[in-house]
């Protein structure tokens, strides 16, 4: 007997493949003719950014950019002075990932394991180290179920209620940040921007009927070299970010989490009404990627009976992922940075930054225990602190 079946599709996210790969970086650069010779390297800051990714059979092709900011000391007679130089490099890597297919999604994370800068000669430096590429490929799979039968008056069903987790495609949007950072009169004018850092602080993401609202605050820190002197100064500004995205399928009861990535940053130093270089215009773009999940109640037919006809039912088992929940936690990280005996003692901190990298995760009795590493490179800013002391001598 032919039946008019009422069907539904169950969609779920399935992790297909993952792999972590160390990528060795080695570059050599020449100091521009407009800058003095290198005497001592103080700091190396590396900002990685993914520009393109392609998923193929058992392989992921990755392209990206690396921005190197180097702060070094130069001698001019008997005095020393700090200078900075910025280089841009490229990264192109093919990563093995068994099970990867061209139609799947792939999350890629780049983490700096360590990066060193060494002096080849007074006009040439070398940068070398390792970057860890974490790849996770997943598919949005689906299978078909029968919910009911049209005009099945003589048919009896045994149904089981079931809760299914459904995952939407990632919602990607860009938040533009723009600010006019002013330098107070107690600091020197800006001669040159040495380094910048953008930290995404307070985040407020809300889902409502048919849309998504993202609010956040970005803290922009700028390290610059002052005019008429050898001192370095740091200024900061909180920049509000806001964006609303229309997505018809969104509902307030859905679960979600959002990741933020700084995509680009531009700055321009200009003069104020007094003709002094005390205004730094900044423009940057932050990419927000929101993963949305929701639960749906469905009734699955377990058995069927008809007193007048013999019915055969094809039963198939499918393994699907279940979202158990999500949580948030804040931890206070404290530690000491030792200054070597042969180095000058710092008298004040100019600028501090830190990068957090999750190296391992363990689940025990309902608790998640992540292992977190803060790279030693984040402590290199102590050299900038010692720079203040040396410039004061």
pLDDT at 50: 87
The pair of structure tokens assigned to 98 is 């068994």
pLDDT at 365: 64
DSSP per residue, 226-252:
ESSSS-EEEEEEEEEEEEEEE-TT--T
Closest CA to 34 of 69, 74, 77: 74
pTM value is 0.75
Query: CA-CA distance, 137 to 109, in Å (whole number)?
Result: 12
Query: CA-CA distance, 126 to 42, in Å (whole number)?
Result: 14
pLDDT at 369: 55
pLDDT at 376: 41
Spans of the chain, pLDDT less than 50: 375-393
Closest CA to 226 of 201, 194, 253: 194
pLDDT at 8: 78
Residue with tokens 């007997």: 1
Domain residue spans of the chain: 1-152, 155-320, 322-392
Secondary structure of residue 313 in the 3-state scheme: coil
Query: CA-CA distance, 224 to 267, in Å (whole number)?
Result: 12
77 burial type by CB count under 10 A (0-12 exposed, 13-18 middle, 19+ buried): exposed
DSSP per residue, 307-375:
SSS----------------------------PPPTTSPPPS---------EEEEEEEETTEEEEEEE--
Query: CA-CA distance, 232 to 72, in Å (whole number)?
Result: 12
Closest CA to 193 of 105, 110, 85: 85
139-172 pLDDT, tens digit each: 777 778 877 777 667 788 888 887 777 778 889 9
Q: How far does CA 206 lie from the centroid of its chain? A: 20
* Element holding 150 (H helix, E strand): none
Q: Are the CB atoms for 264 and 335 separated by under 8 Å?
A: no
Return the number of other C-beta atoms located less than 10 Å from residue 241's C-beta.
Answer: 21
């Amino acid at each position: 007997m032919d039946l008019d079946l009422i069907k539904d599709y169950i969609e779920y996210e399935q992790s297909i493949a993952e792999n972590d790969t160390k990528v060795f970086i080695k570059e050599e650069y020449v100091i521009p003719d407009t800058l003095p010779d290198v005497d001592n390297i103080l700091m190396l800051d590396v900002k990685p950014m993914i520009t393109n990714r392609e998923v193929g059979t058992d392989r992921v092709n990755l392209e990206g950019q690396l921005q190197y900011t180097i702060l070094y000391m130069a001698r001019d007679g008997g005095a020393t002075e700090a200078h900075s130089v910025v280089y841009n490099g490229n990264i192109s890597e093919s990563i093995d990932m068994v099970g990867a297919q061209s139609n799947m999604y792939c999350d890629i994370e780049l983490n700096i394991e360590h990066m060193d800068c060494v002096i080849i000669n007074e006009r040439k430096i070398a940068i070398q180290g390792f970057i860890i590429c974490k790849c996770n490929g997943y598919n949005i799979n689906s299978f078909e179920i029968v919910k009911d039968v049209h005009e099945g008056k003589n048919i009896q069903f045994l149904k089981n209620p079931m809760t299914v987790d459904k995952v939407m495609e990632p919602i990607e949007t860009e938040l533009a940040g723009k600010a006019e950072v002013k330098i107070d009169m107690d600091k020197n004018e800006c001669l040159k921007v040495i380094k910048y850092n953008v930290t995404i602080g307070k985040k407020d993401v809300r889902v409502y009927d048919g849309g998504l609202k993202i609010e956040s605050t970005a803290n922009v820190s700028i390290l610059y070299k002052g005019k008429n002197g050898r001192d370095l100064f740091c200024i900061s500004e909180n920049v509000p970010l806001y964006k609303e995205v229309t997505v018809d399928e969104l509902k307030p009861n859905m679960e979600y989490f959002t990741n933020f990535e700084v995509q680009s940053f531009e700055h321009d130093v200009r003069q104020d009404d007094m003709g002094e270089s005390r205004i730094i215009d900044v423009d940057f773009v932050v990419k927000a990627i929101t993963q949305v999940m929701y639960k749906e109640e469905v009734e699955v037919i377990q058995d069927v009976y008809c007193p007048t006809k013999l019915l055969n039912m094809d039963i198939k088992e499918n393994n699907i992922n279940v979202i158990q929940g999500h949580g948030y936690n804040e931890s206070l990280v404290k530690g000491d940075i030792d200054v070597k005996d042969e180095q000058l003692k710092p008298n004040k901190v100019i600028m501090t930054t830190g990068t957090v990298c999750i190296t391992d995760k363990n689940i025990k009795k309902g608790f998640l225990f992540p292992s977190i590493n803060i790279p030693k490179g984040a402590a290199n800013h102590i050299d900038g602190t010692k720079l203040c002391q040396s410039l004061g001598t």
